[in-house]
Structure 1
Amino acid sequence: MTNILQAIATIINNPRPDLLSYYKSQSNNRINALGDALEYFVKDAFANTIDEPELSNKEKKYKELFSWSGNQNTFPDFMIRNGDAIEVKKIQSSGGDINLNSSYPKSKLFSNDPQISSKCRNCETWIEKDIVYAIGVTSAGKTKQTLKRLWLIYGDCYAASKEYYERIRVQIATGIKAIHDVEFTTTAELGKVKKVDPLGITHLRIRGMWHINNPAKVFDNINTGYDRQTTFPIIAIMKENKYSSFPPDSKTMIESISRPGFNINTQQIKCPDNPVDFIPAKIITYNI
């Protein structure tokens, strides 16, 4: 089984800031978008296949390690078998917000979440998974598109518990139901209103468009060790008890890394459910 510590070590040993060019050369030009290249890079980091030239060998490793490999229209992007879920996001601004589309921020991923597919729900026996947001900040240039920064953040360090978001969703649905002479239907999104007009031929689809602040803003109270002179910094954030739960060999491996620009320490981060409370978190950074 793999984990985020293995992924960090793999990236350190195989840095690929020029993602699009690298994955184009590996895939016979089948990967033409930087967002796709970023997703493959993160997946390869967890599978330790960044430098694997044979696509068939990559796919074999994916099948072995991942119970769900996702697609462009479903959440999450992939799940480690008996391990964490990973959602990959690309932005082109170091301070820009993260577009989550119709899915509100997740502190955890639950198998009864109506927004995940039935295949994801049934790909293995699971009820709850920790989730990692892999957020890549990319260049906006047309001639050279590179990965400028990569955040790896656990959802329970970043997002509030699901009841905070569900409360808003339920109140919106309740308010719409109170409108006379319309037919409200519950969906995986916010809902759907049928028979809006007298003939009953017009329908309204209600879909949320969620955003969350850039992690550079959310975690501005901690020292990430970010050096503006570096070309590709990695910043990972997880609760201290999550770090402690990893196998001893994984912790020994990451703690034995001795390279300029690499650092691992414990700092206090704001509790997403109560900003006046602080929780101990492991901050792992590497400035390439």
Structure 2
Amino acid sequence: MANILRAIKTIVDNPISDLVSYYKGSNRINQVGDVLECFIKDVFADTVTESDQQRKLLRYSEVFSYSGNANNPPDLMLKNGDAIEVKKIESFRAGIALNSSYPKSKLFSDSPLITSSCRNCENWQEKDIVYAIGVVPLKRLKLLWLIYGDCYAADREIYERIKDNIGSGINEIPGVEFSKTKELGRVNKVDPLSLTYLRIRGMWGIANPLSVFDYLNLQVCENINFQLIVIMSKSKYLSFSAQERNQVESISATNFKINEVEIKHPNNPVQLLSAIVINYKF
């Protein structure tokens, strides 16, 4: 079954940093964001070197249960596996724009932000989510973060409380007719003729992983061709089969390291969470 450990091995076996040049000939894609998503899809499907588009599409159908769009999370879902959200930034320390979707420690099937196609693509209620954050200055992939949401974001109640409080506060303004929507809300009948309405839309963002995990001394190198950093909880790492863990742990590539660390728990910074960090450079 496709998973992040197999994806890591695929990345190490197929080191590519100039994604635009690599994909331009076969897929006719030159938008960096689209190319990054294609690369992530190929990495998890182990189709990076597959040139036959029909065979590639067949493999996608075997591996993924859902492929989304820019307006609704997630970008990808593995069959009976994790969800994946792909984000592109152009500098090493830029913040991550999440737009109308708050950060997620997990993805839930009852979320109003996902589509019915996503909700019904397989029988699921909750999925772990991986944030695949590509740093692509000058159209070259220099750094790829693969971070599980439960190491990066708080539980959804934290963010939904903010959203609900905003709605409650607006609703208390005299003379305002407020209605709930999939966004933060909507104010109706703004003018005397009740012709105008105001959409209230959240524009969420989250700090760059370099800032979030600055205490780990991850030694990000801006002058090398490519770097991969993976962060997951130790419990998640141990949930994979011993065979798959052994395959990753036996990778003999230069500058490939696996370390066990303690990270701040997103729900309570004074509580530490055992985690695994995988760092690879070429």
Q: Which residue of 1 aligns with 2:235?
A: 241
2:41 is aligned with what amino acid? K
1:240-259 to structure 2, matched below 5 A, reads 240-259=234-253
The verdict on how the C-alpha distance between 1:92 and 1:228 changes in structure 2, with shifts beyond 3 A counting, is closer
Instruction: Judge conservation of contact 2:180–2:186 (CA < 8 Å) in 1.
Output: yes
Q: Report how far residue 59 of structure 1 moved.
A: 1.1
Instruction: Judge conservation of contact 2:142–2:222 (CA < 8 Å) in 1.
Output: no
SS of residue matched to 2:205: strand
Q: Which residue of 2 aligns with 1:150?
A: 144
Instruction: Judge conservation of contact 2:147–2:231 (CA < 8 Å) in 1.
Output: yes
1:218-238 CA deviation, whole Å, 9 max, x = no partner?
Answer: 001113243444210000000
State the alpha-carbon separation in 1 of the partners of residues 97 and 220 from structure 2. 23
State the alpha-carbon separation in 2 of the partners of residues 189 and 271 from structure 1. 28
2:275 aligned with 1:287, yes or no?
no
| Residue segments in structure 2 that go unaligned for 5+ positions in a row | none
SS of residue matched to 2:98: strand
Q: Which residue of 2 aligns with 1:26?
A: 26
| Bigger shift: residues 221-230 or 274-283 | 221-230
1:226 is aligned with what amino acid? V
| Residue segments in structure 1 that go unaligned for 5+ positions in a row | none
State the alpha-carbon separation in 2 of the partners of residues 104 and 12 from structure 1. 31
Q: Report how far residue 180 of structure 1 moved.
A: 2.3
Q: Which residue of 1 aligns with 2:207?
A: 213
Instruction: Judge conservation of contact 1:18–1:147 (CA < 8 Å) in 2.
Output: yes
Instruction: Judge conservation of contact 1:225–1:285 (CA < 8 Å) in 2.
Output: no
Q: Report how far residue 56 of structure 1 moved.
A: 1.5
SS of residue matched to 1:75: strand
SS of residue matched to 1:24: helix
2:206 aligned with 1:204, yes or no?
no
State the alpha-carbon separation in 1 of the partners of residues 35 and 20 from structure 2. 6
**Number of equivalent positions:** 282
* TM, length-normalised to structure 2: 0.98
2:276 is aligned with what amino acid? K
1:1-288 to structure 2, matched below 5 A, reads 1-27=1-27, 29=28, 31-139=29-137, 141=138, 145-288=139-282
2:109 is aligned with what amino acid? S
State the alpha-carbon separation in 1 of the partners of residues 61 and 198 from structure 2. 40
Q: Report how far residue 277 of structure 1 moved.
A: 1.4
Q: Report how far residue 281 of structure 1 moved.
A: 0.4
* TM, length-normalised to structure 1: 0.96
State the alpha-carbon separation in 2 of the partners of residues 227 and 205 from structure 1. 43
Instruction: Indicate the RMSD between aligned Cα atoms, in angstroms.
Output: 1.0
State the alpha-carbon separation in 2 of the partners of residues 236 and 138 from structure 1. 17
Q: Provide the identity percentage.
A: 56
Instruction: Judge conservation of contact 2:12–2:253 (CA < 8 Å) in 1.
Output: no
SS of residue matched to 2:101: coil
State the alpha-carbon separation in 2 of the partners of residues 249 and 36 from structure 1. 33
Instruction: Judge conservation of contact 1:226–1:287 (CA < 8 Å) in 2.
Output: no
